[in-house]
A and B are shown apart, each in its own frame.
Chain A
């Protein structure tokens, strides 16, 4: 049995840990602290936790004020509300002023499941990535989330941290310290095609690489948890080495990881890219597993995309 942990659980646990050392950290939530897992911080440090109620725009504004006055705010809600409802507050209040606010959003992507399309954010990375000064991170599992939370706590500017609802297989050891903002992590080497993934798609990309190996195809697998800034050096090396890419994300193929990778490659190392992701459509109710299958976020789809993109080399 593979060990599972939701990235949001790792977030909640790490917040309590770093909150002990760093008393400058304050946490804000919009009536979702049990779901976003900030409730642990609220219990441990009630004087540094502010429930803002169902009022996300004000919450992001309050965070801006706290940051301007020297505090380190972590702000949590579901990804669709944190980035969508409060977009312009993030743009003008936080990013324009380059304030060190961490927007730690959970319930991103279609794996939210039964709540359906209104609650399944598929555009959050696209809109966060478009903002100057913003860093965008989408970790692959619990231990990497813990590292990302610590990195975000040290960041001098705004950070968007994207997390999910469901339990994910644990890929990294608890004591692993590979994560750095701006760095990807090469999990498997291979010369035929490069699979660039983030979030829960990293595990699918590893499974796809195993299936491809059975067919005699050697796929490199890269966990690109840092979507912005992107690890351009690693992408450049993979372009030289593999010459074809498949991007894998639980997000729209418009504006997310696939777009970021394509933007870099088209300017620097033109080579064919296939994108596995949500194809410009909204989600719907269903079990996370059924939805992943329906929207084509599977190892089998990555395998097909890899074979197709290799033919274009």
Chain B
């Protein structure tokens, strides 16, 4: 595929996933639209353009692995996995319902394609480090990807893991920081500022790549650049918009953890047509 063609293909997939996120959240009547919509472009690019994975063989040993450290963005992961063919799209309608494999936060034993259970903030990067070490020991060339929240960066464990990854020179580890500037109680800088994030990750020994996290071209370039970095983990500092793609959700902290009502869904789907 030519670059332009690839970008437009990914944009189409991402839009489809956005629609799916809105639909499943409306049906579940609870969940997290804001952070799902801010991270879904990165997830789409990972699963449709970057990662060595096989929906027919989700446990393939030498696969690349993904950690959704901000596990509350599960609807984005479910939408992308279903779109990629890991499980039937109809299953998305069971999100958060009794007996559903699609738990409120991802469960590795219930959903094909989920490499590790997450949900408690601050823990995913450590697990990603463990996976990166395992891949290094296996010498199979597998890479590990993770998406971290900016509010989540307030957790101390994130910085323990940041130190660890740099110390062990985990250059098969690539992390997106979904920098949407908002958390439940408001702007991250008002609640407890983790800024300046670029300087902090730099100081912790990471190679920092600032991009627009909704620009597929920039995401693809970041993947390519990340593969050239040796001896250092890579932090893709992705500037994003919480609620991206749905006008009334964009940049609204109030849409962190509230599901759309039916009429809000209809308006959102119209915007995502």
Chain A contact residues, CB within 8 Å of chain B:
26, 47-48, 50, 52-53, 55, 57-71, 73, 88-89, 92-93, 96-98
Contact = CB atoms under 8 A, between A and B. Distances in A.
Given A70-B61, A93-B126, A61 B161 contact: yes
B137 interface: yes
A81 B161 CA distance: 17
Contact of B164 (A48, A62, A66, A92): A62
Contact of A89 (B65, B109, B123, B129): B123
A71 B161 contact: no
A68 B131 contact: yes
Where chain A touches its partner, the secondary structure class is: helix
B24 interface: no
A58 B160 contact: yes
26 contacts: A26-B137, A53-B167, A57-B156, A58-B163, A58-B164, A61-B123, A62-B130, A63-B130, A64-B123, A65-B131, A65-B132, A65-B134, A66-B133, A68-B130, A69-B65, A70-B61, A70-B134, A71-B130, A71-B134, A73-B130, A88-B120, A92-B119, A93-B120, A93-B123, A97-B108, A97-B109
Interface string B125-156: 11111111111011000000000000000001
Contacts of B28: none
Interface of B: 61, 65, 67, 107-109, 115-117, 119-120, 123-135, 137-138, 156-157, 160-161, 163-164, 167-168
B126 to A, nearest CB: 2
Contact of B161 (A58, A67, A73, A97): A58
Nearest to B120: A92
A89 B131 contact: no
Given A62-B164, A64-B116, A93 B134 contact: no
A47 B157 CA distance: 24
A66 B133 CA distance: 7
A66 B123 contact: no
A69 B135 contact: yes
A85 to B, nearest CB: 10
Given A50-B168, A64-B127, A58 B157 contact: yes
Nearest to B164: A58
Contacts of A66: 130-131, 133-134
B160 A55 contact: yes
B205 to A, nearest CB: 14
A68 B127 contact: yes
B126 A62 contact: yes
A65 B160 contact: no
Most buried by A among B117, B130, B133, B164: B130
A68 to B, nearest CB: 5
Contacts of B160: 53, 55, 57-58
A67 B127 CA distance: 9
Contacts of B135: 69
Contacts of A26: 133, 137
A69 B134 contact: yes
B130 A89 contact: no
A88 B120 CA distance: 9
Contacts of A58: 126, 129, 157, 160-161, 163-164
A34 B128 CA distance: 27
Contacts of A67: 130
B134 A61 contact: no
Nearest to A68: B116
Nearest to A69: B134
A61 B61 contact: no
Contacts of A53: 160, 163-164, 167
A281 to B, nearest CB: 30
B126 A64 contact: yes
Contact of B123 (A47, A69, A92): A92
Given A58-B160, A61-B130, A89-B157, 6 more contacts: A57-B157, A58-B161, A62-B129, A64-B123, A68-B116, A89-B123
Contacts of A57: 123, 126, 156-157, 160
Contact of A98 (B109, B125, B138, B164): B109
B82 to A, nearest CB: 21
Contacts of A71: 130, 134, 137
